[in-house]
Amino acid sequence: MTQKQVWRNLIVLLFVAGFITFAYLGSVPLLDPDEPVYAETAREMVQFNDFISPRIYGEFWYDKPPMYYWLVAGAFKVFGVSEFAARLPSALMATAGTVLVYLAGRKLFNERAGLLTGLILATSLEYFYLGKAAVTDSTLTLFLTAALLAFLHGRYYWFYVCAALAVVTKGPIGIIFCTAIPGLYVLVTGNWPLVKRMKLWQGVPLFLVIALPWYILMYLYHGRDFIETFLGFHNITRFLQPEHASGILWYYYIPVVIVGFFPWISFMVQAVQAALKERGNSRNQLVFLVIWAAAVLVFFSLSQTKLVSYILPMYPPLALLVGWYFDKVWTEERFAVLKWSAAVVTVVAFVFEAGLIYAGKTVAVGLYLPGIIMAGVFAAVNAFIWWSSIRRNFRLVFTLYVAVMLVFSVSLMTQLLPVITPVFSMKAFVEDFNQHYDGQSQVYIAKSYRPGFMFYSGIPGREMPDNEQLSALLDKQADDAFIIIKNKEYQRLPADLQDKVAVLAVQEDKVLLVYKSYN
């Protein structure tokens, strides 16, 4: 492989990854409940000129370490406060992640496998979607990926540096994965001399120098309140107790992986099986990748709090496995694999298409037509994939998978998300609110709407209490008050409480009420 070909492959990868991640990055408002939390916290870092203690609503906030807040605050400083700036660090990290796995794939296997790996990761549905979102997951995934690949390549100082950065991004999870995955690998392979080569005596102090300072400062500033809230609630309690009803479903992440790793899920099972059966020079590396992906899946399946985004760190090893496998069957001309994968993707695409159409009937009526169009596109491409598989054209099949995800990413940002934005964003609702608000009255707001409302209005409001408490508050309210709640919660208000308020605006599931003190 000549240097010219390497640069050509890198340019292709950067074009695909850059386009799919950066296109229309700021075109959609921040979506509740997560994006506004990170954007607002970063905005308040800049506002208060305090880059140690994160705040939201003007109050100290111990939910996450500061790495993503720092990155977004820097973007705000350069580009101003906007949706684009809030999402820019995540997009950069996701794109860097695709380049990283490309470099790893070409070193572990060969140049073509490396390119395939980078393109697979860049076009995996959940990976590129979260790369376009103002959340911490792409940043954590990049640092974990860099750390674990550094371990695999024997670059141990980089392993400790990147593991520390993961801890500054999302806390103890960086320690857990960067300890458990290498530990399991040593245990499974019996390669105990590896422990001696890991430079523990130099590496652990290096890790602590990078990872600990923020935590020490936070403890000095905030004492036990920080420890009990950050470690006690946001890490230990959320692992042991479900924050959402989905936490009790042990199989929660199975459909998430099927959809999130689309369209490459059609090769995933075969790739893992082939990796475990491999007896060549790549065996240990493949075993490490399988352990990596499995450890992430099992850990978060055991956690009682489950979110779709949590398993993002398993996609880089899956991309490496599938990239290696696709290159292998391509070289060996195992054409039956193409037909099998086409059958799998047909089933997954059908379920995905049905989901888009169903969402158009239940979530937002405007989704129906885009859903039908995308279903038609998927059906046409799927037929072409079958035709290419029958003709035994590996290059064309792979190119079609990449191309359809590029088309889908554009459709997602221009057709699908704009339709559901009023449901999942407060931006348009704040515009309605501003037409009625007198600029001084108290605002009560439902918890899930509060971050987005704060980001777009600059008004922190007060978290909406339950019906009984709200009634008592309004009885004591000397001045007018505005209330923002879900429509279904408004319908559940007792009749006497409904009589005390007037409906000013309704948008999707959100209702703006006003309480007049003369009532």
pLDDT digits (tens, 9 = 90+) for 213-250: 999 999 898 888 888 777 654 455 555 555 555 556 77
pLDDT digits (tens, 9 = 90+) for 346-377: 777 777 667 766 666 666 566 667 767 777 77
- Rounded CA-CA distance 53/226 in Å is 10
Nearest to 128 by CA among 408, 421, 452: 408
Tell me: pLDDT of 468 over 70.
no
Q: What is the pLDDT of residue 238?
A: 54
Nearest to 268 by CA among 321, 219, 339: 321
Q: Are 357 and 272 in contact (CB under 8 A)?
A: no
Q: Are strands 462-463 and 442-445 parallel, antiparallel or unpaired?
A: parallel
Q: What is the mean pLDDT of the chain?
A: 87
210 or 350: whose pLDDT is higher?
A: 210
Nearest to 313 by CA among 132, 155, 181, 119: 181
H helical segments located in 335-449? 336-362, 368-390, 394-411, 417-424, 427-436
Locus of tokens 């980078």: 118
* Mean pLDDT across 494-511: 84
pTM here is 0.91
Q: What is the pLDDT of residue 281?
A: 77
- Rounded CA-CA distance 91/132 in Å is 6
Q: What is the pLDDT of residue 336?
A: 79
Tell me: pLDDT of 312 over 60.
yes
315 or 34: whose pLDDT is higher?
A: 315
- Rounded CA-CA distance 474/127 in Å is 46
Q: Are 183 and 148 in contact (CB under 8 A)?
A: no
Distant-in-sequence, close-in-space partners of 284: CB < 8 Å, separation ≥ 6: 189, 191
What secondary structure does DSSP assign to 338-370, as a single string? Answer: HHHHHHHHHHHHHHHHHHHHHHHHHT-GGGHHH
Percent of the chain with pLDDT strictly greater than 70: 91
Considering only CA atoms, give the Rg of the chain: 25
Give the pLDDT band of residue 480 (cuts 50, 70, 90). Answer: confident
Task: Count Cα atoms within 13 angstroms, Cβ side, for 70.
Answer: 13
Domain boundaries of the chain, sorted by first residue: 3-243, 427-515
pLDDT digits (tens, 9 = 90+) for 133-191: 999 999 999 999 999 999 999 999 999 999 999 999 998 899 999 999 999 999 999 88
Three-class DSSP category at 443: strand
